[in-house]
Amino acid sequence: MGEWFAGDERSMDEPMPDGVLVEEIGGRWAVRVIEQGKVVEKVFEEEEAARDHAWRERLRLNLGTRPDGRLSGPRQSKE
C-alpha cells in the first residue's frame, strides 16, 4: 500500500483533500497528486526520483508535513 501524505480520512461523499501519494507498482514508483479534487499521476523508474517529485509537489501545495507532524521529504541517503 502507498503512503498518503494528506489530511485525515474522509468519506466518499466528501471532496478529496489536497495530498500526495507515493506507491510502488510493479517495480516502478507512482506519485499521485490530488489538487482541488483532481488526481494527476506520474510514474518514475527510481524511488528517489519519485520521492523528490512528491516532496516538491507537497511544497507547491503547502503541505509541509505529514498528519503525524513528521516531514515527508525525500529519503536521506545513508553514507
How is the chain split into domains, by residue range? Answer: 3-60
Integer angstrom CA distances of residue 36 from 1, 39, 40, 46 = 23, 9, 11, 27
Q: Give the Cα separation of 69 and 23 in Å (integer).
A: 20
- In this predicted structure, what is the pLDDT of residue 43? 98
pTM of the model: 0.66
Report residues of the chain scoring pLDDT below 50: 1, 4-8, 67-69, 71-79
**Dihedral of alpha carbons 64, 66, 68, 74, sign:** negative
Q: Give the Cα separation of 37 and 6 in Å (integer).
A: 12
